[in-house]
């Protein structure tokens, strides 16, 4: 690789981009990280950070900073299926708890950490084009608000630019396991809805919602319906959202006693995986793999991509491994980890009733605390669906029940 001004230019400075920039900069690489947003700023996303994401923050020395923002820890996940509620601990020894920090807080913390590590941060800078020379990405062209176009060059351009990634649009990676938008979700914040360290989920036919405690004594409540109902409900989001709670009368009573403190925000997203590297470019976070938010994996996955990608790029920059070899490892490790959860997530996002076998399993788990903890860990992304639904584990749950 020829020596150019930056080792890496990272496009996008939120959950995937800032950690990638931070980790590379901590190793002494010259990194430019740009975002068209300025910080602090919010983005359309709820924000449950699962225990593996919390563990990443801890490894990076950033967890204490999050804790001091006053975000309450979440140490129990409860899944209310109507017939039974499965309540378990989502974490493991590496990270026993989850948090649901507001993105305006979390993203600022990540941006600051990247800048502190020595990455050059350019906020309010929009990338308009990826520069390609001899079939290889060599830099970007973009501009600050109201500014003239500027060109920056790097050995690698990392697309951490989210769902509508410009980098991905320009490099046209292979895309696979595509699934359409499956559900539409809407969220807002409530005061007077105490959660006592619990993340509650309610699963009903064609409806599902979750409630998690966040900053300022507020509770995030996100819920939704199948994407097929988007058009029918879009003109009465509030009514459709509130009517859903009648399917769980106790929760309905609690939320009626609470007060809504923000407007509704909602969206629906497609599901895909993309090859995350090619000549002179890489993808991390939603730019490389997106899945429905029903299982709240995106932030943790973005963190794990950042670690894997920064490790692989570090190996190439130092000359230890050829780019293609190191990045192929990033690709295969990501897919191996993500794919079982991707399938589980896209199944849940249909909001179809759980298949009969799962309903039997839920019945068998009820009251068996180790099994309920394992179910919470499954949904937290700590235990792979491949392990949880293995014959041995399922048989052991049924054996304990009988």
Ligand X SMILES: Cc1cc2nc3c(=O)[nH]c(=O)nc-3n(C[C@H](O)[C@H](O)[C@H](O)COP(=O)(O)OP(=O)(O)OC[C@H]3O[C@@H](n4cnc5c(N)ncnc54)[C@H](O)[C@@H]3O)c2cc1C
Question: Sign of the C-alpha dihedral, residues 360, 365, 367, 372?
Answer: negative
How would you classify the pairing of strands 136-144 and 125-133?
antiparallel
Shortest spacing between CB 6 and ligand X, in angstroms: 15
Choose between 25 and 160: whose C-beta lies nearer to ligand X.
160
Residue number, 62 or 365, with CB nearest to ligand X: 62
Among 201, 214, 297, 346, binds ligand X (CB under 6 A): 297
The answer for residues whose C-beta is within 8 angstroms of residue 319's C-beta and 6 or more apart is none
What is the spatial distance between Cα 32 and Cα 308, in angstroms, rounded to a whole number?
19
- Is 193 a binding residue for ligand X by CB under 6 A? The answer is no
Q: What string marks each residue from 40 to 79 as x (binds ligand X by CB under 6 A) or -?
A: ---xxxxxx-------------------------------
Element (DSSP H or E) covering residue 178: strand 175-179
Give the chain's count of helices (H) and strands (E): 14, 21
Interatomic CA distance for residues 28 and 188, integer angstroms: 41
Q: Which of 139, 280, 285, 385 binds ligand X (CB under 6 A)?
A: 285
Rounded to 5 degrees, what angle do the CA atoms 127, 121, 66 make? 120
Indicate which single residue of 91, 173, 226, 298 sits in contact with ligand X (rule: CB under 6 A): 298
> Any contact of residue 14 with ligand X (CB under 6 A)?
yes
Nearer to ligand X, 57 or 397 (CB): 57
CA distance 222 to 209: 6
- Of 214, 385, 237, nearest to 297 by C-alpha is 385
For 69-145, list the strands marked E by DSSP. 73-74, 76-80, 85-88, 98-99, 120-123, 125-133, 136-144
Among 266, 284, 221, which residue's Cα sits nearest to residue 15?
284
Among 10, 12, 211, 251, binds ligand X (CB under 6 A): 12
CB 183 within 8 A of CB 349: yes
Q: x/- site string to ligand X, residues 117 to 136, per CB under 6 A?
A: ---------xx---------
Which span (148-156, 273-281, 292-300, 362-370) binds ligand X, by CB under 6 A?
Answer: 292-300
Q: Give whichever of 36 and 274 is closer to ligand X, judged by the CB atom.
A: 36
15 binds ligand X (CB under 6 A): yes
- Residue with Cβ nearer ligand X (345 or 364): 345
Interface residue with ligand X, options 221, 302, 308, 349 (CB under 6 A): 302
- Alpha carbon of 187 to those of 145, 152, 260, 310, 356: distances in Å? 30, 38, 11, 33, 30
Stretch that binds ligand X, among 35-43, 84-92, 240-248, 318-326 (CB under 6 A): 35-43
Q: Does 36 bind ligand X (CB under 6 A)?
A: yes
CB of 399 to ligand X, least distance (A): 34
Burial (CB < 10 A; 0-12, 13-18, 19+), residue 353, is: middle
Residue of 35, 152, 200, 373 interacting with ligand X (CB under 6 A): 35
Residue 224 sits in the site that holds ligand X (CB under 6 A): no
Q: Which of 11, 364, 372, 376 binds ligand X (CB under 6 A)?
A: 11
Total chain residues near ligand X (CB under 6 A): 37
Q: Is 139 in the site for ligand X (CB under 6 A)?
A: no
The 10 Å CB-count burial string (b at 16+, else e) for 247-284 is bbeebeebbeebebeeeebbebbebbbbbbbbebbbbb
* Binding interface with ligand X (CB under 6 A): 11-17, 34-37, 43-48, 126-127, 160-163, 166, 185, 267, 269, 285-287, 293, 296-300, 302
């Amino acid at each position: 690789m020829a020596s150019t001004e930056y080792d890496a230019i990272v496009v996008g400075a939120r959950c995937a981009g800032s950690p990638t920039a931070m980790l590379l900069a901590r190793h002494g690489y010259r990194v430019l990280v740009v975002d068209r947003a300025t910080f602090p700023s919010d983005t359309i996303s709820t924000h449950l950070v699962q225990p593996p994401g919390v563990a990443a923050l801890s490894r990076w020395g950033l967890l204490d900073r999050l804790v001091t923002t006053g975000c309450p820890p979440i140490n129990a996940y409860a899944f209310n299926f109507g017939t039974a509620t499965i309540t378990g601990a989502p974490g493991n020894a590496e990270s026993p708890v989850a948090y649901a920090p507001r993105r305006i807080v979390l993203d600022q913390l990540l941006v600051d950490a990247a800048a502190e590590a020595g990455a050059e941060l350019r906020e309010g800078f929009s990338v308009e084009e990826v520069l390609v020379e001899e079939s290889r990405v060599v830099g970007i062209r973009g501009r600050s608000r109201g500014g003239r176009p500027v060109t920056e060059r790097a050995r690698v351009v990392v697309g951490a630019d989210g769902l509508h990634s410009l980098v991905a649009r320009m490099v046209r990676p292979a895309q696979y396991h595509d699934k359409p938008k499956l559900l539409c979700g809407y969220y807002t914040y409530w005061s007077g809805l105490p959660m006592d360290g619990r993340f509650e989920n309610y699963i009903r036919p064609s409806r599902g919602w979750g409630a998690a405690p966040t900053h300022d004594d507020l509770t995030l409540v996100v819920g939704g319906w199948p994407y097929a109902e988007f058009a029918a409900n879009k003109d009465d989001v509030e009514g459709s959202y509130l009517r859903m709670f009648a399917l769980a009368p106790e929760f309905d009573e609690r939320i009626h006693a609470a007060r809504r403190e923000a407007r509704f925000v909602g969206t629906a997203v497609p599901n895909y995986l993309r090859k995350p590297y090619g000549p002179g470019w890489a993808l991390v976070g939603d730019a490389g793999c997106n899945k429905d938010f029903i299982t709240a994996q995106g932030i943790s996955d973005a963190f794990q991509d950042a670690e894997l990608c920064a490790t692989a790029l570090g190996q190439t920059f130092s000359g230890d491994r050829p780019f293609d070899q190191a990045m192929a490892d990033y690709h295969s490790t990501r897919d191996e980890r993500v794919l079982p959860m991707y399938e589980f997530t896209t199944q849940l996002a249909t909001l179809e009733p759980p298949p009969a076998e799962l309903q039997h399993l839920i019945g068998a788990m009820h009251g068996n605390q180790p099994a309920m903890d394992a179910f919470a860990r499954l949904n937290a992304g700590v235990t792979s669906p491949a392990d949880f639904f293995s014959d041995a584990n399922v048989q052991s749950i049924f054996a304990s029940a009988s």
